[in-house]
Structure 1
Protein backbone atom coordinates (compact mmCIF):
# COMPACT_ATOMS: atom_id res chain seq x y z
CA UNK A 1 0.00 0.00 0.00
CA UNK A 2 1.15 3.52 -0.83
CA UNK A 3 1.65 6.02 1.99
CA UNK A 4 0.14 9.49 1.73
CA UNK A 5 0.31 12.75 3.69
CA UNK A 6 -0.37 12.09 7.39
CA UNK A 7 -4.09 11.92 8.08
CA UNK A 8 -5.56 13.40 11.25
CA UNK A 9 -8.12 11.59 13.39
CA UNK A 10 -11.05 12.97 15.39
CA UNK A 11 -12.42 10.77 18.18
CA UNK A 12 -16.04 11.37 19.20
CA UNK A 13 -17.96 10.24 22.29
CA UNK A 14 -21.55 10.98 23.30
CA UNK A 15 -22.27 10.68 27.02
CA UNK A 16 -24.90 10.74 29.71
CA UNK A 17 -24.00 9.84 33.30
CA UNK A 18 -20.79 8.03 32.37
CA UNK A 19 -18.58 9.10 35.28
CA UNK A 20 -17.51 5.48 35.83
CA UNK A 21 -16.31 5.18 32.21
CA UNK A 22 -15.32 8.58 30.87
CA UNK A 23 -11.77 8.87 32.23
CA UNK A 24 -10.71 5.45 30.96
CA UNK A 25 -12.19 5.86 27.50
CA UNK A 26 -10.59 9.30 27.09
CA UNK A 27 -7.24 7.84 28.16
CA UNK A 28 -7.66 5.19 25.45
CA UNK A 29 -8.40 7.90 22.85
CA UNK A 30 -5.32 9.98 23.64
CA UNK A 31 -3.67 8.82 20.38
CA UNK A 32 -6.29 10.78 18.36
CA UNK A 33 -5.48 14.29 17.09
CA UNK A 34 -8.81 15.69 18.29
CA UNK A 35 -11.22 14.42 20.95
CA UNK A 36 -14.76 15.76 21.30
CA UNK A 37 -17.31 14.76 23.95
CA UNK A 38 -20.98 15.67 23.47
CA UNK A 39 -22.65 15.34 26.86
CA UNK A 40 -26.43 15.24 27.35
CA UNK A 41 -26.35 17.35 30.53
CA UNK A 42 -25.29 14.50 32.80
CA UNK A 43 -26.31 14.84 36.43
CA UNK A 44 -23.20 13.05 37.67
CA UNK A 45 -19.55 14.13 37.26
CA UNK A 46 -19.15 13.15 33.58
CA UNK A 47 -18.91 16.75 32.35
CA UNK A 48 -16.46 17.79 35.06
CA UNK A 49 -14.18 14.79 34.56
CA UNK A 50 -14.11 15.21 30.77
CA UNK A 51 -13.50 18.96 31.12
CA UNK A 52 -10.36 18.26 33.17
CA UNK A 53 -8.72 16.77 30.08
CA UNK A 54 -6.74 19.55 28.36
CA UNK A 55 -6.83 17.70 25.01
CA UNK A 56 -10.62 17.22 25.03
CA UNK A 57 -13.34 19.58 23.82
CA UNK A 58 -16.58 19.11 25.78
CA UNK A 59 -19.94 20.34 24.50
CA UNK A 60 -23.36 19.91 26.07
CA UNK A 61 -26.54 19.32 24.06
CA UNK A 62 -30.01 18.20 25.10
CA UNK A 63 -30.53 14.55 24.06
CA UNK A 64 -33.36 13.87 21.60
CA UNK A 65 -32.21 10.61 20.06
CA UNK A 66 -28.96 8.78 19.31
CA UNK A 67 -28.89 9.47 15.57
CA UNK A 68 -29.23 13.24 15.86
CA UNK A 69 -26.82 13.35 18.79
CA UNK A 70 -24.19 11.50 16.78
CA UNK A 71 -24.76 13.66 13.69
CA UNK A 72 -24.37 16.77 15.85
CA UNK A 73 -21.07 15.42 17.19
CA UNK A 74 -19.97 14.75 13.60
CA UNK A 75 -20.65 18.37 12.69
CA UNK A 76 -18.10 19.49 15.29
CA UNK A 77 -15.25 17.36 13.96
CA UNK A 78 -12.35 19.20 12.30
CA UNK A 79 -10.84 16.16 10.59
CA UNK A 80 -11.95 13.85 7.82
CA UNK A 81 -11.30 10.60 9.67
CA UNK A 82 -13.73 9.87 12.51
CA UNK A 83 -13.44 7.32 15.29
CA UNK A 84 -16.80 7.15 17.10
CA UNK A 85 -16.80 5.14 20.32
CA UNK A 86 -19.17 4.67 23.24
CA UNK A 87 -18.02 5.47 26.75
CA UNK A 88 -18.20 1.79 27.73
CA UNK A 89 -15.91 0.69 24.88
CA UNK A 90 -12.13 0.22 25.20
CA UNK A 91 -9.39 0.16 22.58
CA UNK A 92 -6.42 -2.17 22.86
CA UNK A 93 -2.99 -0.83 21.92
CA UNK A 94 -3.11 -3.12 18.87
CA UNK A 95 -6.40 -1.59 17.72
CA UNK A 96 -5.05 1.93 18.20
CA UNK A 97 -2.03 1.10 16.05
CA UNK A 98 -4.20 -0.52 13.38
CA UNK A 99 -6.44 2.55 13.18
CA UNK A 100 -3.45 4.89 12.86
CA UNK A 101 -2.03 2.68 10.11
CA UNK A 102 -5.30 2.26 8.18
CA UNK A 103 -6.18 5.95 7.91
CA UNK A 104 -2.77 6.70 6.43
CA UNK A 105 -3.14 4.33 3.49
CA UNK A 106 -3.91 5.85 0.09
CA UNK A 107 -6.32 3.05 -0.86
CA UNK A 108 -8.20 2.89 2.45
CA UNK A 109 -11.97 2.29 2.44
CA UNK A 110 -14.62 4.87 3.32
CA UNK A 111 -15.53 3.09 6.56
CA UNK A 112 -14.54 0.11 8.67
CA UNK A 113 -16.42 -2.44 10.71
CA UNK A 114 -14.86 -3.41 14.01
CA UNK A 115 -15.85 -6.53 15.90
CA UNK A 116 -16.55 -6.30 19.63
CA UNK A 117 -16.02 -8.56 22.61
CA UNK A 118 -19.07 -8.18 24.89
CA UNK A 119 -17.94 -8.13 28.51
CA UNK A 120 -20.31 -9.42 31.19
CA UNK A 121 -18.89 -7.53 34.16
CA UNK A 122 -15.22 -8.53 33.86
CA UNK A 123 -15.42 -11.66 31.70
CA UNK A 124 -16.14 -12.16 28.01
CA UNK A 125 -19.61 -13.34 26.98
CA UNK A 126 -18.91 -15.96 24.34
CA UNK A 127 -22.36 -16.50 22.80
CA UNK A 128 -25.94 -15.21 23.38
CA UNK A 129 -25.99 -13.53 19.97
CA UNK A 130 -22.92 -11.38 20.64
CA UNK A 131 -20.36 -13.68 19.02
CA UNK A 132 -20.87 -12.01 15.63
CA UNK A 133 -21.27 -8.45 16.92
CA UNK A 134 -19.67 -5.83 14.68
CA UNK A 135 -20.24 -2.13 14.16
CA UNK A 136 -18.83 0.70 12.03
CA UNK A 137 -16.69 2.86 14.30
CA UNK A 138 -14.07 4.26 11.90
CA UNK A 139 -15.08 6.25 8.81
CA UNK A 140 -14.53 9.32 6.66
CA UNK A 141 -16.84 12.18 7.70
CA UNK A 142 -17.65 13.21 4.14
CA UNK A 143 -18.74 9.67 3.26
CA UNK A 144 -21.15 8.88 6.08
CA UNK A 145 -24.15 10.09 8.07
CA UNK A 146 -26.37 8.49 10.69
CA UNK A 147 -29.86 7.57 9.51
CA UNK A 148 -32.36 9.88 11.25
CA UNK A 149 -35.05 7.18 11.05
CA UNK A 150 -32.99 4.81 13.23
CA UNK A 151 -33.07 6.66 16.52
CA UNK A 152 -31.65 3.79 18.58
CA UNK A 153 -29.11 1.20 17.46
CA UNK A 154 -28.47 3.90 14.92
CA UNK A 155 -27.36 2.94 11.43
CA UNK A 156 -24.51 4.69 9.65
CA UNK A 157 -25.21 5.26 5.96
CA UNK A 158 -21.91 4.97 4.08
CA UNK A 159 -21.19 6.11 0.54
CA UNK A 160 -18.26 3.98 -0.58
CA UNK A 161 -16.36 0.81 0.25
CA UNK A 162 -16.58 -0.67 3.74
CA UNK A 163 -13.66 -2.64 5.15
CA UNK A 164 -13.10 -4.56 8.38
CA UNK A 165 -10.49 -4.07 11.08
CA UNK A 166 -8.61 -7.08 12.43
CA UNK A 167 -8.48 -6.09 16.09
CA UNK A 168 -11.55 -5.96 18.34
CA UNK A 169 -13.10 -3.37 20.61
CA UNK A 170 -13.76 -4.40 24.19
CA UNK A 171 -17.38 -3.59 25.09
CA UNK A 172 -18.11 -3.27 28.82
CA UNK A 173 -21.86 -3.03 28.34
CA UNK A 174 -22.98 -5.09 31.34
CA UNK A 175 -21.79 -3.85 34.75
CA UNK A 176 -24.76 -5.06 36.81
CA UNK A 177 -28.33 -6.29 36.36
CA UNK A 178 -30.15 -3.07 37.24
CA UNK A 179 -28.02 -0.80 35.02
CA UNK A 180 -28.34 -3.10 32.00
CA UNK A 181 -32.09 -3.48 32.65
CA UNK A 182 -32.52 0.31 32.65
CA UNK A 183 -30.54 0.51 29.41
CA UNK A 184 -32.71 -2.14 27.74
CA UNK A 185 -35.91 -0.42 28.92
CA UNK A 186 -34.65 2.92 27.56
CA UNK A 187 -33.78 1.31 24.21
CA UNK A 188 -37.23 -0.28 24.11
CA UNK A 189 -38.86 3.11 24.66
CA UNK A 190 -36.86 4.67 21.82
CA UNK A 191 -37.58 1.73 19.50
CA UNK A 192 -41.29 2.32 20.19
CA UNK A 193 -40.91 5.74 18.58
CA UNK A 194 -39.39 4.08 15.49
CA UNK A 195 -42.33 1.65 15.32
CA UNK A 196 -44.77 4.55 15.66
CA UNK A 197 -43.17 6.32 12.70
CA UNK A 198 -43.55 3.08 10.71
CA UNK A 199 -47.26 3.02 11.71
CA UNK A 200 -46.92 -0.36 13.41
CA UNK A 201 -50.17 -1.41 15.09
CA UNK A 202 -49.26 -3.66 18.03
CA UNK A 203 -51.25 -6.81 18.67
CA UNK A 204 -50.90 -10.12 20.51
CA UNK A 205 -48.11 -11.16 18.15
CA UNK A 206 -46.02 -8.16 19.17
CA UNK A 207 -46.86 -8.37 22.88
CA UNK A 208 -46.23 -12.09 23.36
CA UNK A 209 -44.64 -13.84 20.38
CA UNK A 210 -41.93 -11.26 19.59
CA UNK A 211 -40.39 -11.18 23.11
CA UNK A 212 -40.50 -14.98 23.40
CA UNK A 213 -38.91 -15.35 19.97
CA UNK A 214 -36.19 -12.84 20.92
CA UNK A 215 -35.32 -14.89 24.01
CA UNK A 216 -35.40 -18.30 22.30
CA UNK A 217 -33.43 -17.04 19.30
CA UNK A 218 -30.59 -15.74 21.43
CA UNK A 219 -30.72 -18.46 24.08
CA UNK A 220 -31.06 -21.49 21.80
CA UNK A 221 -30.26 -20.57 18.18
CA UNK A 222 -27.45 -18.16 19.15
CA UNK A 223 -26.19 -20.53 21.88
CA UNK A 224 -26.89 -18.34 24.91
CA UNK A 225 -27.44 -21.59 26.80
CA UNK A 226 -23.67 -22.15 26.63
CA UNK A 227 -23.11 -18.92 28.58
CA UNK A 228 -24.86 -20.41 31.62
CA UNK A 229 -26.47 -17.98 34.06
CA UNK A 230 -24.97 -15.02 32.17
CA UNK A 231 -26.73 -16.17 28.98
CA UNK A 232 -30.10 -16.40 30.73
CA UNK A 233 -29.72 -12.88 32.13
CA UNK A 234 -28.65 -11.26 28.83
CA UNK A 235 -31.25 -13.08 26.73
CA UNK A 236 -34.00 -12.24 29.24
CA UNK A 237 -33.13 -8.54 29.35
CA UNK A 238 -32.91 -8.28 25.57
CA UNK A 239 -36.35 -9.93 25.34
CA UNK A 240 -37.61 -7.49 27.97
CA UNK A 241 -36.53 -4.62 25.71
CA UNK A 242 -38.74 -6.02 22.93
CA UNK A 243 -41.70 -6.33 25.32
CA UNK A 244 -41.20 -2.75 26.52
CA UNK A 245 -41.05 -1.54 22.91
CA UNK A 246 -44.56 -2.69 22.06
CA UNK A 247 -46.10 -1.82 25.45
CA UNK A 248 -44.70 1.70 25.01
CA UNK A 249 -45.95 1.80 21.42
CA UNK A 250 -49.44 0.93 22.68
CA UNK A 251 -49.28 3.92 25.07
CA UNK A 252 -48.05 6.27 22.33
CA UNK A 253 -50.83 5.23 19.95
CA UNK A 254 -53.44 5.69 22.68
CA UNK A 255 -52.50 9.34 23.16
Structure 2
Protein backbone atom coordinates (compact mmCIF):
# COMPACT_ATOMS: atom_id res chain seq x y z
CA UNK A 1 0.00 0.00 0.00
CA UNK A 2 2.79 2.46 0.84
CA UNK A 3 4.04 2.61 -2.75
CA UNK A 4 0.64 3.93 -3.91
CA UNK A 5 0.54 6.80 -1.36
CA UNK A 6 1.90 10.33 -1.80
CA UNK A 7 2.04 12.51 1.33
CA UNK A 8 0.77 16.07 0.78
CA UNK A 9 1.77 18.79 3.27
CA UNK A 10 0.98 22.50 3.56
CA UNK A 11 3.64 24.72 5.11
CA UNK A 12 4.16 28.28 6.24
CA UNK A 13 7.01 28.97 8.67
CA UNK A 14 7.02 25.44 10.09
CA UNK A 15 10.72 25.10 10.96
CA UNK A 16 9.94 23.99 14.57
CA UNK A 17 7.90 21.04 13.23
CA UNK A 18 8.59 19.96 9.66
CA UNK A 19 11.78 17.95 10.30
CA UNK A 20 10.02 15.53 12.68
CA UNK A 21 7.18 15.12 10.19
CA UNK A 22 9.52 14.32 7.30
CA UNK A 23 11.57 11.85 9.33
CA UNK A 24 8.51 9.60 9.54
CA UNK A 25 7.88 9.85 5.78
CA UNK A 26 11.14 8.42 4.49
CA UNK A 27 9.21 5.45 3.08
CA UNK A 28 7.54 7.75 0.53
CA UNK A 29 8.90 7.90 -3.02
CA UNK A 30 7.57 11.45 -3.44
CA UNK A 31 6.34 14.06 -0.96
CA UNK A 32 4.50 17.12 -2.26
CA UNK A 33 4.77 20.28 -0.15
CA UNK A 34 2.71 23.39 -0.94
CA UNK A 35 4.49 26.27 0.76
CA UNK A 36 2.92 29.70 1.33
CA UNK A 37 6.26 31.53 0.92
CA UNK A 38 7.84 30.70 4.26
CA UNK A 39 10.35 33.22 5.62
CA UNK A 40 11.99 31.03 8.27
CA UNK A 41 14.18 27.92 7.83
CA UNK A 42 11.35 25.74 6.50
CA UNK A 43 12.60 25.69 2.89
CA UNK A 44 16.17 24.92 3.98
CA UNK A 45 14.92 21.90 5.93
CA UNK A 46 12.79 20.69 3.02
CA UNK A 47 15.81 20.80 0.70
CA UNK A 48 17.55 18.13 2.81
CA UNK A 49 15.03 15.49 1.66
CA UNK A 50 15.51 14.39 -1.94
CA UNK A 51 11.98 13.01 -2.35
CA UNK A 52 10.36 16.33 -1.37
CA UNK A 53 8.97 18.49 -4.17
CA UNK A 54 8.21 22.05 -3.04
CA UNK A 55 5.70 24.19 -4.91
CA UNK A 56 5.03 27.71 -3.65
CA UNK A 57 1.59 29.28 -3.83
CA UNK A 58 0.20 32.37 -2.13
CA UNK A 59 -2.32 31.32 0.50
CA UNK A 60 -5.96 32.32 0.00
CA UNK A 61 -8.11 29.62 1.62
CA UNK A 62 -7.34 26.21 3.05
CA UNK A 63 -9.60 24.43 0.57
CA UNK A 64 -8.02 26.11 -2.47
CA UNK A 65 -4.54 25.41 -1.14
CA UNK A 66 -5.31 21.73 -0.57
CA UNK A 67 -7.07 21.33 -3.92
CA UNK A 68 -4.09 22.89 -5.68
CA UNK A 69 -1.93 20.34 -3.90
CA UNK A 70 -4.16 17.50 -5.06
CA UNK A 71 -3.60 18.61 -8.65
CA UNK A 72 0.12 17.88 -8.20
CA UNK A 73 -0.42 14.29 -7.01
CA UNK A 74 0.19 11.45 -9.46
CA UNK A 75 -0.44 8.43 -7.22
CA UNK A 76 -3.80 6.80 -6.54
CA UNK A 77 -3.82 7.60 -2.82
CA UNK A 78 -3.07 10.81 -0.91
CA UNK A 79 -2.01 11.17 2.71
CA UNK A 80 -2.81 14.78 3.66
CA UNK A 81 -0.79 16.07 6.60
CA UNK A 82 -0.37 19.32 8.47
CA UNK A 83 3.28 20.16 9.07
CA UNK A 84 2.96 19.21 12.76
CA UNK A 85 1.53 15.73 12.12
CA UNK A 86 3.97 12.94 12.96
CA UNK A 87 3.14 9.40 11.87
CA UNK A 88 3.57 6.82 14.60
CA UNK A 89 5.47 3.62 13.83
CA UNK A 90 2.29 1.67 14.54
CA UNK A 91 0.40 3.64 11.89
CA UNK A 92 3.17 3.14 9.31
CA UNK A 93 2.97 -0.61 9.92
CA UNK A 94 -0.81 -0.49 9.55
CA UNK A 95 -0.47 1.33 6.22
CA UNK A 96 1.98 -1.31 4.99
CA UNK A 97 -0.58 -4.07 5.40
CA UNK A 98 -3.61 -2.08 4.24
CA UNK A 99 -5.47 -3.62 1.31
CA UNK A 100 -8.55 -1.51 0.52
CA UNK A 101 -11.41 -2.95 -1.49
CA UNK A 102 -12.59 -0.99 -4.57
CA UNK A 103 -15.60 0.53 -2.77
CA UNK A 104 -13.41 2.16 -0.08
CA UNK A 105 -12.27 5.67 -1.03
CA UNK A 106 -10.96 6.99 2.26
CA UNK A 107 -9.82 6.32 5.81
CA UNK A 108 -10.22 8.30 9.02
CA UNK A 109 -7.12 8.35 11.24
CA UNK A 110 -7.23 9.05 15.02
CA UNK A 111 -4.98 11.57 16.75
CA UNK A 112 -2.93 11.84 19.90
CA UNK A 113 -2.40 15.45 20.89
CA UNK A 114 1.10 16.19 22.19
CA UNK A 115 2.26 19.00 24.47
CA UNK A 116 6.01 19.57 24.12
CA UNK A 117 6.43 16.12 22.61
CA UNK A 118 4.43 14.08 25.13
CA UNK A 119 1.07 12.58 24.03
CA UNK A 120 -1.92 13.37 26.23
CA UNK A 121 -4.46 10.78 27.35
CA UNK A 122 -7.25 12.50 25.46
CA UNK A 123 -7.98 15.28 23.00
CA UNK A 124 -10.96 17.10 21.52
CA UNK A 125 -9.56 16.38 18.05
CA UNK A 126 -11.81 13.95 16.15
CA UNK A 127 -10.33 11.41 13.71
CA UNK A 128 -9.45 13.10 10.42
CA UNK A 129 -10.03 11.70 6.95
CA UNK A 130 -6.41 12.00 5.94
CA UNK A 131 -5.95 9.01 3.59
CA UNK A 132 -8.06 8.96 0.44
CA UNK A 133 -8.23 8.26 -3.29
CA UNK A 134 -7.24 11.40 -5.18
CA UNK A 135 -9.64 10.89 -8.09
CA UNK A 136 -12.69 10.69 -5.85
CA UNK A 137 -12.02 13.48 -3.35
CA UNK A 138 -11.89 17.26 -3.05
CA UNK A 139 -11.85 19.92 -0.34
CA UNK A 140 -14.36 22.63 0.59
CA UNK A 141 -13.90 25.46 3.09
CA UNK A 142 -15.41 24.95 6.54
CA UNK A 143 -14.96 27.88 8.91
CA UNK A 144 -11.28 28.38 9.73
CA UNK A 145 -10.30 25.04 8.24
CA UNK A 146 -11.32 22.69 5.42
CA UNK A 147 -13.57 19.69 4.93
CA UNK A 148 -12.72 16.75 2.70
CA UNK A 149 -15.53 15.43 0.52
CA UNK A 150 -15.05 11.78 -0.47
CA UNK A 151 -17.46 10.18 -2.93
CA UNK A 152 -17.36 6.56 -1.76
CA UNK A 153 -17.30 4.62 1.47
CA UNK A 154 -14.79 5.44 4.22
CA UNK A 155 -13.46 3.36 7.09
CA UNK A 156 -11.36 3.95 10.20
CA UNK A 157 -7.74 3.04 10.88
CA UNK A 158 -6.86 2.07 14.45
CA UNK A 159 -3.35 3.54 14.88
CA UNK A 160 -2.84 7.26 15.49
CA UNK A 161 -1.00 10.29 14.17
CA UNK A 162 0.76 12.43 16.79
CA UNK A 163 -0.31 16.08 16.58
CA UNK A 164 2.86 17.69 17.93
CA UNK A 165 2.98 21.45 17.32
CA UNK A 166 6.05 23.07 18.83
CA UNK A 167 5.70 26.56 17.37
CA UNK A 168 5.82 29.43 19.86
CA UNK A 169 2.85 30.43 21.99
CA UNK A 170 2.79 33.85 20.31
CA UNK A 171 2.38 32.14 16.90
CA UNK A 172 -0.44 30.01 18.33
CA UNK A 173 -2.20 33.13 19.66
CA UNK A 174 -1.86 34.83 16.27
CA UNK A 175 -3.32 31.82 14.49
CA UNK A 176 -6.23 31.46 16.92
CA UNK A 177 -7.35 35.03 16.34
CA UNK A 178 -7.39 34.41 12.59
CA UNK A 179 -9.21 31.11 13.02
CA UNK A 180 -11.91 32.51 15.30
CA UNK A 181 -12.62 35.42 12.97
CA UNK A 182 -13.37 32.85 10.26
CA UNK A 183 -15.41 30.74 12.67
CA UNK A 184 -17.62 33.74 13.44
CA UNK A 185 -18.38 34.15 9.74
CA UNK A 186 -19.26 30.46 9.51
CA UNK A 187 -21.59 30.62 12.55
CA UNK A 188 -23.30 33.73 11.21
CA UNK A 189 -23.88 32.32 7.73
CA UNK A 190 -24.98 28.80 8.69
CA UNK A 191 -28.69 28.27 9.51
CA UNK A 192 -29.28 27.15 13.09
CA UNK A 193 -30.81 23.87 11.90
CA UNK A 194 -27.57 22.94 10.13
CA UNK A 195 -25.21 23.71 13.02
CA UNK A 196 -23.76 20.91 15.11
CA UNK A 197 -24.73 20.77 18.78
CA UNK A 198 -21.24 22.03 19.62
CA UNK A 199 -21.59 25.07 17.37
CA UNK A 200 -25.03 25.79 18.81
CA UNK A 201 -23.45 25.91 22.28
CA UNK A 202 -20.68 28.16 20.97
CA UNK A 203 -23.28 30.59 19.63
CA UNK A 204 -24.50 31.14 23.19
CA UNK A 205 -21.06 32.64 23.95
CA UNK A 206 -21.15 31.96 27.72
CA UNK A 207 -21.28 28.19 28.17
CA UNK A 208 -18.65 26.95 25.71
CA UNK A 209 -15.48 27.98 27.65
CA UNK A 210 -16.74 26.31 30.85
CA UNK A 211 -17.85 23.16 29.05
CA UNK A 212 -14.55 22.77 27.19
CA UNK A 213 -12.60 23.24 30.44
CA UNK A 214 -14.49 20.36 32.12
CA UNK A 215 -14.36 18.26 28.97
CA UNK A 216 -10.57 18.52 28.58
CA UNK A 217 -9.62 18.08 32.23
CA UNK A 218 -12.24 15.63 33.51
CA UNK A 219 -13.91 13.76 30.67
CA UNK A 220 -10.73 13.43 28.58
CA UNK A 221 -8.51 12.87 31.63
CA UNK A 222 -6.25 15.88 31.12
CA UNK A 223 -5.91 16.36 34.87
CA UNK A 224 -3.96 13.07 34.96
CA UNK A 225 -1.42 14.50 32.47
CA UNK A 226 -0.12 17.03 35.00
CA UNK A 227 0.79 20.50 33.82
CA UNK A 228 0.65 19.42 30.16
CA UNK A 229 -3.03 18.60 30.62
CA UNK A 230 -3.66 21.98 32.21
CA UNK A 231 -1.71 23.68 29.40
CA UNK A 232 -3.92 22.02 26.78
CA UNK A 233 -7.12 22.82 28.71
CA UNK A 234 -6.13 26.47 29.09
CA UNK A 235 -5.35 26.65 25.36
CA UNK A 236 -8.78 25.34 24.41
CA UNK A 237 -10.56 27.56 26.95
CA UNK A 238 -8.69 30.61 25.64
CA UNK A 239 -9.70 29.73 22.07
CA UNK A 240 -13.37 29.48 23.10
CA UNK A 241 -13.20 32.77 25.03
CA UNK A 242 -11.67 34.42 21.97
CA UNK A 243 -14.50 33.08 19.81
CA UNK A 244 -17.07 34.39 22.31
CA UNK A 245 -15.44 37.82 22.23
CA UNK A 246 -15.41 37.82 18.43
CA UNK A 247 -19.10 36.82 18.36
CA UNK A 248 -19.98 39.61 20.80
CA UNK A 249 -17.97 42.08 18.74
CA UNK A 250 -19.75 41.08 15.53
CA UNK A 251 -23.18 41.39 17.14
CA UNK A 252 -22.37 44.77 18.67
CA UNK A 253 -21.05 46.09 15.39
CA UNK A 254 -24.15 44.84 13.59
CA UNK A 255 -26.42 46.44 16.19
CA UNK A 256 -24.62 49.76 15.94
CA UNK A 257 -24.57 49.64 12.15
CA UNK A 258 -20.79 49.70 12.01
CA UNK A 259 -18.90 47.61 9.47
CA UNK A 260 -16.22 45.30 10.81
CA UNK A 261 -12.65 46.24 9.89
Give, in angstroms, the shift of residue 90 of structure 1. 1.3
Equivalent in the alignment of 1:245: 243
Count of residues in Structure 1 that have an aligned counterpart in Structure 2: 245
> Helix, strand or coil: the match of 2:158?
coil
Give, in angstroms, the shift of residue 87 of structure 1. 1.3
Equivalent in the alignment of 1:25: 21
Alignment partner of 1:85 out of 81, 88, 108: 81
Gaps of 5+ in 2: 193-199
TM-score by length of 2: 0.80
Conservation of the 8 A alpha-carbon contact between 2:30 and 2:51 = yes
Give the whole-Å Cα distance in 2 for the aligned partners of 1:111 and 1:168. 16
Deviations 1:188-216 (A, max 9, x none): 2332232243378x9x9644333233323
Give the whole-Å Cα distance in 2 for the aligned partners of 1:205 and 1:99. 39
Give, in angstroms, the shift of residue 55 of structure 1. 1.6
Give the whole-Å Cα distance in 1 for the aligned partners of 2:3 and 2:203. 51
Equivalent in the alignment of 1:118: 113
Conservation of the 8 A alpha-carbon contact between 1:184 and 1:238 = no
Comparing 183-192 with 109-118, greater Cα deviation is found at: 183-192
Conservation of the 8 A alpha-carbon contact between 2:120 and 2:222 = no
Give the whole-Å Cα distance in 2 for the aligned partners of 1:205 and 1:59. 39
CA RMSD across the alignment: 2.9
Superposed, 1:214-229 pairs within 5 Å as 214-229=212-227
Conservation of the 8 A alpha-carbon contact between 2:116 and 2:166 = yes
Superposed, 1:179-190 pairs within 5 Å as 179-190=171-182
Give, in angstroms, the shift of residue 106 of structure 1. 4.5
TM-score by length of 1: 0.81
> Helix, strand or coil: the match of 1:41?
coil
Gaps of 5+ in 1: none
Superposed, 1:141-160 pairs within 5 Å as 141-148=134-141, 150-160=142-152
Conservation of the 8 A alpha-carbon contact between 2:105 and 2:136 = yes
